[in-house]
Amino acid sequence: MYPVGLKIHKNLFTEKELENIETIINYNYNWEFEGKKKHHHYPEYVFKNNIKNIISGDCQRKIKTKDICDKCNCHMTINLKNNLPIPLWINNLIITKLIDNNIIKNNWCNCITIIMYKETVLNPHFDSPHIFELPIITLRLFNNSIISFDSKNEFGIDDIIQQRGDLTIMDGECITKYDHSIKKLNDNKTVSLVIRKIHPELINI
């Protein structure tokens, strides 16, 4: 079963559109990097906990109890390392498509992350709704992958195959209740292009 709040749009992008996007990624981003994956952020940022002055990638949610910290907005800010604009090709080929299909509103997206995977996996993690306005949207590129919301088999949720070209929209319980992880199906490279909105009041420019 799907977790509550998960939607997957199939065939939103044509084969030609996907090929164009993947060609641009291959031209602009080098696959020869160390490690299993590489992140490209627009803008480049780090999460900073103002209280302890440490850099952190998530809110202070208690994973075991699935609680969300109600103080994240007070404690967390986002420091921009480089205020890189969202590339024009992403706006033209992807964002415009989502706006035209009433998936997002104009000017909603202010954050793009391109995650390039050479190997498995993106470990179970949490996109805090206290940092990102919901939903979290991902376009799967190059090859299929698996998204898992139940890494410890606690909830009876099956792993879900993200096919190349799938647009995955995560909202509601699938963000606020569950961690999620990404697994590769084979040894071929795959890319997550993540479309999000950072709460503007958290951005410290």
Per residue in 104-153, pLDDT (tens digit) is: 999 999 999 999 987 656 677 777 777 788 999 999 999 999 888 866 66
User: β-strand 44-49 against 76-82: which pairing, if any?
Assistant: antiparallel
CA–CA distance, 205 with 98 (Å, rounded to integer)? 27
- Note the pLDDT tens digit of each residue in 102-111: 999 999 999 9
What is the pLDDT at residue 179? Answer: 77
- φ, ψ of residue 183 to 5 degrees: the values are -125, 145
- Note the pLDDT tens digit of each residue in 148-203: 886 666 667 788 899 999 999 999 888 877 778 887 777 788 999 999 998 877 67
Q: Does residue 127 sit in helix, strand or coil?
A: coil
In this model, does residue 72 exceed pLDDT 50?
A: no
* Nearest-5° Cα angle at 22, 125 to 58: 15
Q: Does residue 184 sit in helix, strand or coil?
A: strand
If you average pLDDT over every residue of the chain, what do you get? 79
